[in-house]
Amino acid sequence: MNKKYNVIDLFSGAGGLSQGFVQSGYNVLAGIDFDDAALKTYAHNIKGAKALKEDLFNEKEAIKDIEDAISGKGVDVIIAGPPCQGFSLTGGRDINDSRNKLYVAVVHAVNHFKPKAFLIENVPGMATLYKGAVKQQIINTFEDMGYAVSVTDRPLLAADYGVPQFRKRMFFVGFLKDLGYDYFEFPKPYLESDQYIGTAAAISDLPSLVDELGENIMHYSCNPKSDYQKLMRKNANVIYNHVGTNHTEEVKWVISQVPEGGNHKDLPPGVGESRKFNEAWTRYHSEKPSKTIDTGHRNHFHYKWNRVPTVRENARLQSFPDDFEFLGTKTQQNKQVGNAVPPLLAQAIGKKMLNHLEKGDDK
């Protein structure tokens, strides 16, 4: 089929979910968020989509603005990554508690637009919150609205789908039963653990920045060294966002004593005492995916060089292609990268959802 399904992205951030759905063949109409810098990045990269600043707590006004922005086009799919904050358990089959506004915004949007399908992404902890009762409440809410809802049995691991990162996320996917859709089966892993993409295969072609801090636009200094690098560079002629951090000599000295794949536990007594928590002073391993990319970027270090990764290196580890340019301050860029859904993981689910949609339309 040649039909392109229309998508809107709630709590879009910089556009990781949207990028993955674009890559899997959807037509993204709009991304909605409240973060100015993230929306600028979204508008810059998700071509043809409107970047809308909306307070999704005020769902009536937000939905009206979305309607106006998409000019009467139908919405086939709603995707959303609402933050999991202050979720309260109200019991029964209703999540319409004022403290659950972030989720309720998605419920109201799905109820209004009646898309053929929706996807909600969240952190693994959502599955066990209140002993699984919140997860069941979300399922019940959408089932009562006429959707067949599937949830990941266990969080999906991004590394299983070609992302060079040990990042786990859970997903809810629903399809409208009235249109004849049944339950959705999540994509099986693409890779075995011995096939995972390591950090060297992901970022070794980027300039080392040993003798320079780099610039926001740089040229490649070598050819791709892996299939993953070829994929990331496919549509790019330059490198964006590859700017180093000006560490003190002491910080570089501490980092230099952390072995590949090691952390603060490998430092000599008295060294690096300012940071001694679980993720502190962690050096990536060249042959393994990275730990979960966070929004701070100060605790993880390059597998080889004595510095924190650049925004571009973290974007690579998140599977953003090199032509995806992040805007705003470096702090804002790191936050955008860390908050995003890896596009290749989103693409894997998007493709499977596309097959499900097309099968339903063929009935």
Cα–Cα nearest to 349, from 182, 186, 125: 186
- Quick one: average pLDDT of 32-36? 95
Q: Which residues touch 32 (CB under 8 Å, ≥6 apart)?
A: 8, 9, 10, 11, 12, 52, 53, 54, 56, 62, 66
Q: Which stretch, 88-92, 277-281, 330-334, has highest mean pLDDT?
A: 330-334
Comparison of pLDDT for 94 and 147, the residue scoring more = 147
Q: Residue 298 above 90 pLDDT?
A: no
Mean pLDDT across the stretch 180-201?
95
Exactly one of 69, 84, 129, 179 is catalytic; name it: 84
Buried b (16+ CB within 10 A) or exposed e, 54-69: bebeebeebbebbeeb
Per-residue pLDDT at 93: 47
- Tell which wins on pLDDT, 214 or 32: 32
Distance (Å, whole) CA 359 – CA 208: 48
Chain-wide mean pLDDT for the chain?
90
- The predicted model gives 197-218 an average pLDDT of 93
Distance from C-alpha of 256 to C-alpha of 304, rounded to nearest angstrom: 9
Residue 333 has pLDDT above 90, yes or no: yes
Q: What global pTM score does this model have?
A: 0.93
pLDDT digits (tens, 9 = 90+) for 89-144: 444 545 555 445 677 889 999 999 999 999 999 877 777 777 777 788 889 999 99
With bands split at pLDDT 50, 70 and 90, how would you rate the model's confidence at 206?
Answer: very high
**Does residue 56 have a pLDDT over 90?**
no
Q: By percentage, how much of the chain surpasses pLDDT 90?
A: 70
pLDDT average, residue stretch 26-36 = 96
Residue 232: predicted pLDDT: 98
Active site residue 84: yes
State the average pLDDT over residues 209-213: 87
The domains located in the chain, with CATH, are: 6-190+342-362 (3.40.50.150)
Q: What's the rounded Cα separation, in Å, for the pair 282 and 67?
A: 46
Model pLDDT, residue 103: 78
Residue 273's pLDDT band, with cuts at 50, 70 and 90, is low
